[in-house]
Structure 1
Amino acid sequence: MGKVVLVTGVARQLGGRFVRRIQRDPDVERVIGVDSVPPEHHLGGAEFVRADIRHPMIAKVLAEHAVDTVVHMNVTGTPIGRGGGRALVKETNVIGTMQLLGACQKAPSVKRLVVKSSTSVYGSAPRDPAVFTESTPPKSLPSGGFAKDTVEVEGYVRGFARRRPDVAVAVLRFANILGPCADSPLAEYFSLPVLPTVLGYDPRLQFVHEDDVIDVLRIAASEPARGSLNSGTFNIAGDGVLLLSQTARRLGRPTLPFLLPTVTWVGSALRTVGVTDFSPEQIRLLTHGRVVQTTQMRETLGFTPRYTTAETFEDFARSRGPGLLPPAVLARTVDRLAGVLAAPGAAQ
């Protein structure tokens, strides 16, 4: 008998892609896709169960199908179809995870749990270390938005791991996920015609390609290969970093700098036009940035991304089409302006 894998969040493109991919694994017998709304994309040969993970009925789904592997992908920063807003997103992230973990705890068939988390658990602060490892405590815990949700989710997962030590638990902390089908607050931000920034700051950012997300989730949901360990907490990101100014150049989009005290007002204005999670934590990321170490991803989990951070962003930028300005022209203009400002006597 092969594995029975349950995947949450399959109505989203990323969840649907993972369901279609994992069905091709020879050791997988059945895949059960779960979401509160039917997906608009096909799920291959997977069985779709319409269920809200915030409700106790998810325990019945686990029991009826004798699920042994759970891949929890329904921890996200955006609602499906723009419905429900931030309150529904938080309930699904936090309450949904609590219900799912409670169901897993009572299901003796469950032997492996994979949770899609985020590097946002580290927060973004002016005195952060240059690079976060999996064991680095944040300088200041996120106070709201998706970042706070992920902190709470990981706390519940650690509690579950203590109560069910027989279950292999893998928490994958993804850097900002981008790609042609990316659906995230940061993808929405980069899709704006003009990018609001914080005056005087140029944060370092990391990205992971959605193709690499699928591949590493599949590895984490599988039996460990020789020399690797598919349990623990892992930072997942492409090699290298990009400055926010570099991303704007690659997109061909001008930036509009604001003084830090006024950025909160800008975030409120953006939320009114549909940028869901332009929260204080998102603003901190676009002010101070965040970079994580991925040694454990490579050496312990045994995964090497196919895309670097720069290649990931390049693929995303191509999918969004040309910006207001040709990237080459924008880059020359910015470089020329930077040279003028850096010239001797320019600040006098």
Structure 2
Amino acid sequence: MGKVVLVTGVARRLGDRFAAELSRCPGVDRVVGVDAREPAGEAGYVFHRLDLRRPTVARVIAEHEVDTVVHLDVSAVGPGGRAAVKERNVIGTMQLLGACQKAPGVRRLVVKSTTGVYGSAPRDPAVLGERMLPKNLPRGGFAKDATEAEGYVRGFARRRPDCAVTVLRFANILGPAGDTPLGEYFALPVLPTVLGHDPRLQFVHEDDVIEVLRIAAQEDRPGTFNVAGEGVLLLSQCARRLGRPTVPLPAPALGVVAALARQTRIADISPEQLQLLTHGRVVDTTALRSAFDGLPRRSTAETFAEFAAAQRSGLLPPERLTAVTDRLTGLLPTDHTHHLPRS
């Protein structure tokens, strides 16, 4: 009998696509997708609607005799506001691990995490490795959720040494759809940036994410791995490749702009994303490339180029672009307005 894989978070594009593609892999007998919401696709796998915060996932694991669990339902955004997202990320992970603990047939666990656990600080090392501890632990948001979830996963690994546990810390994921918080930021007609900062960024292509997850779900690759495309891009380079003008703002003013963007649902620019847009983050991927056959295939630059090519021009007509720029200009001190680009 082939593998039976449980995939959480299939209501999101990444989870739905991964579950569908995994179901077509040789050696996989069945894929079971779970989420509190209906997936858009639901092609090729069995779907159970359930909330991970409730203990019903144990019944699904037992019913389908699951041997591999891929936990993707850890996300920066979601319905119900920040409190609900945190509950799903942390309490949902705890409940899932509890169910796996009681299921002796579960022999492999793969958990999606984020390089955000390292934070973004001015005195960070140039390149962050898996064994490095952040100088300042994340104080809130998705990064803090992921840090807590990783702690519970390490506890599970100690209690179940017979289970191969893989934690994948993904850099910012980009694909042609661009349906991520950072993708929303890059879709803005003008890009607000932090005055005096040009952070180094890394990206990983959605296709490479799927491939890394596929290998981890089908073969034992225990350990914690950073997942990012080779190389870096400066934020200014990203803006130029998108053809977007930038508006440099003092950090407090950018915080106001980010809050307005969240309130109006233009883009979800979180406080931790503001830190990233200020100080950047670069991680070492040596361990991943050694254990996962040289993945990812695409570099950071190639990933961003494909993302940029899939975007519409995104620029507003000249009169509207001027209006948006003028609105942002109102947050700037007078002596900085000469830095603003005009269409």
Task: Give your verdict on TM over 0.5.
Answer: yes
Which residue number corresponds to residue 121 of structure 2?
125
Asked if structure 2 preserves the Cα contact closer than 8 Å seen for 1:248 and 1:255, the reply is yes
Provide TM-score, normalisation by structure 1.
0.88
**Residue by residue, what CA displacement relative to the aligned partner does 1:241-266 show, whole Å, maximum 9, x if unpaired?**
00000111111111111112322222
Distance 2:10 2:85 in 1: 15
3-state DSSP of counterpart to 2:196: coil
Distance 2:264 2:159 in 1: 43
Tell me how far 1:275 sits from its aligned partner. 5.3
3-state DSSP of counterpart to 1:208: strand
**Residue 272 (structure 1) aligned with residue 263 (structure 2):** yes
Instruction: In structure 2, give the amino acid aligned to 1:218.
Output: R
3-state DSSP of counterpart to 2:192: strand
Which residue number corresponds to residue 7 of structure 2?
7
3-state DSSP of counterpart to 1:62: helix
Instruction: In structure 2, give the amino acid aligned to 1:170.
Output: T
Asked if structure 1 preserves the Cα contact closer than 8 Å seen for 2:185 and 2:267, the reply is no
Q: 2:107 aligns with which of 108, 111, 117?
A: 111
Q: 1:290 aligns with which of 267, 281, 286?
A: 281
Instruction: In structure 1, give the amino acid aligned to 2:240.
Output: R
State percent identity of aligned pairs: 66
Structure 2 matches for 1:177-256, cutoff 5 A? 177-224=173-220, 230-256=221-247
Distance 1:267 1:24 in 2: 41
Which residue number corresponds to residue 59 of structure 1?
58
Greater mean alpha carbon deviation, residues 212-221 or residues 253-262: 253-262
Tell me how far 1:276 sits from its aligned partner. 6.2
**Residue by residue, what CA displacement relative to the aligned partner does 1:219-243 show, whole Å, maximum 9, x if unpaired?**
111124xxxxx01000001111000
**Residue by residue, what CA displacement relative to the aligned partner does 1:247-295 show, whole Å, maximum 9, x if unpaired?**
1111111111111232222221111022564222111100000000100
Which residue number corresponds to residue 19 of structure 1?
19
Which residue number corresponds to residue 341 of structure 1?
none
Asked if structure 1 preserves the Cα contact closer than 8 Å seen for 2:187 and 2:314, the reply is no
Distance 2:178 2:242 in 1: 15
Which residue number corresponds to residue 76 of structure 1?
75
Asked if structure 2 preserves the Cα contact closer than 8 Å seen for 1:59 and 1:103, the reply is yes
Which residue number corresponds to residue 331 of structure 2?
none
Distance 1:48 1:301 in 2: 29
Tell me how far 1:41 sits from its aligned partner. 1.4
Greater mean alpha carbon deviation, residues 262-271 or residues 304-313: 262-271
Asked if structure 2 preserves the Cα contact closer than 8 Å seen for 1:76 and 1:89, the reply is yes
Structure 2 matches for 1:335-346, cutoff 5 A? none
Q: 1:191 to 1:313 in 2, by over 3 A?
A: same
- CA RMSD, Structure 1 to Structure 2 (Å): 1.5
Provide TM-score, normalisation by structure 2.
0.89
Tell me how far 1:90 sits from its aligned partner. 1.3
Asked if structure 1 preserves the Cα contact closer than 8 Å seen for 2:188 and 2:314, the reply is no
Q: 1:142 aligns with which of 127, 138, 147?
A: 138
Distance 2:258 2:274 in 1: 8
Which residue number corresponds to residue 31 of structure 1?
31
Asked if structure 2 preserves the Cα contact closer than 8 Å seen for 1:78 and 1:276, the reply is no
**Residue by residue, what CA displacement relative to the aligned partner does 1:122-146 show, whole Å, maximum 9, x if unpaired?**
0000000000010011111111111
Distance 1:210 1:30 in 2: 23
Instruction: In structure 1, give the amino acid aligned to 2:283.
Output: V
Tell me how far 1:22 sits from its aligned partner. 1.0
**Residue 307 (structure 1) aligned with residue 303 (structure 2):** no
Kindly tell me the number of residue pairs found equivalent between the two proteins: 317
| Structure 1: 5+ residue stretches without partners | 225-229, 326-348
Runs of 4 or more consecutive aligned structure 1 residues displaced over 3 Å after TM superposition? none
Instruction: In structure 2, give the amino acid aligned to 1:133.
Output: G
Asked if structure 2 preserves the Cα contact closer than 8 Å seen for 1:77 and 1:277, the reply is no
Which residue number corresponds to residue 330 of structure 1?
none
Which residue number corresponds to residue 319 of structure 1?
310
Greater mean alpha carbon deviation, residues 238-247 or residues 215-224: 215-224
Tell me how far 1:303 sits from its aligned partner. 3.8
Tell me how far 1:202 sits from its aligned partner. 0.1
Distance 1:197 1:146 in 2: 21
3-state DSSP of counterpart to 2:123: coil
